Amino acid sequence: MKINIKNEEIRSERVLRIEEIAGENIFKCYQCGKCSAGCPSADQMDLLPNQVVRNLQIGKVDAVLNSKSIWICASCFMCWTRCPRGVNLTALFEACRQVKLRENIDEVGLKQTIQEAEEMDIPQIAVISVLRKLTS
């Protein structure tokens, strides 16, 4: 699989926007992978947390915004707590969700989730967490 790395994508407007919302410098990351190693949801993700940052570094914003990972993230802050360089990945994930939400796309499936919540007796806090992902 080959990807083309393009100058114009690397510091594109959307990357800068994500950085701005998160208040974070993605180039602090040196790809040690400790975030992915500690993430409790990593095995459900299609892109590992460190791969999300890597894609942002090389300007592949679409790969990130179209990934399931940013919606699977439970905002537990484990990645940020463990990161040796202090990169706030939780904020970066949130910023990615914000960018996507502002395009008015419902990735969560609100109706279905609420229905499932009623049927499966999902804890209330988990439902709220899902709803929170729809606010921007």
Partner 1 sequence: MKRIGVFVCHCGLNIAGSVDIDKIVEEVSKLNHIVYVKNYIFLCSQPGQQMVEDIVKEHNLDGFIVANCSPTLHEKTFRNTAIRAGMNPYFVEVANIREQSSWPHSKEKKKATQKALLIIKATIKKLVKNLDYHSKRVDLTKRALIIGGGIAGIQAALDIADGGYEVVLLDRQQSIGGHMAQISETFPTLDCPQCIMTPKMTEVGNHPKIILRTYSEVEEVTGFIGNFTVKIRKKATSVDWTKCTGCGECIAKCPAKPLSVFDCFLSKGTAMYRDFEQAVPSFPVINRDACLYFQKGVCRICEKVCPIDAIDFEQQDEIVEEQVGAIIIATGYDLMPMSEQGEYGAGKYKDVIDGMQFERLLASTGPYAGDVKRPSDEKVPDSVVFIQCAGSRDPESNYPYCSKVCCMYIAKQALLYKHNVHHGQAYIFYIDIRSTGKGYEEFVQRVQEESGVIYIRGKASKVFKRGDKMVVWGVDTLTGQTVEIETDLVVLASAMIPSSGAFTLASKTRLATDKYGWFSEAHPKLRPVESVTGGYYLAGAAQAPKDIPETVTHASGAASKVLALFSNDFLESDPIIVQVDPEICNRCGYCEAVCAYDAVKLNSKTKIAEVNEVLCEGCGACAATCPSGAISHRNNTRSQIFDMISVATEDYKEITTKFDK
Residue ranges that bind partner 1, judged by CB under 8 A = 30-39, 42-43, 47-48, 50-51, 82-86
Shortest reach from residue 86's CB to partner 1, in Å? 5
Pick the closer one to partner 1 by CB: 70 or 83. Answer: 83
Nearer to partner 1, 22 or 130 (CB): 22
Question: Which residues make Cβ contacts (< 8 Å) with residue 6, sequence separation at least 6?
Answer: 59
Beta carbons within 8 Å of 48's beta carbon, 6+ residues apart? 33, 35, 36, 39, 42, 69
- If the CB atoms of residues 31 and 136 are measured against partner 1, the closer one turns out to be 31
- Going by the DSSP 8-state scheme, the letter that residue 28 receives in this structure is G
CA distance 98 to 134: 9
Q: Which of residues 41 and 136 has its CB atom nearest to partner 1 in the complex?
A: 41
- How far is CA 94 from each of CA 16, 29, 72, 90, 115, rounded to the nearest angstrom? 14, 17, 11, 6, 25
The least CB distance from residue 85 to partner 1, in Å, is: 6
Q: Provide, rounded to whole angstroms, the least separation between the CB of residue 36 and partner 1.
A: 4
Closest separation in Å from C-beta 29 to partner 1: 11
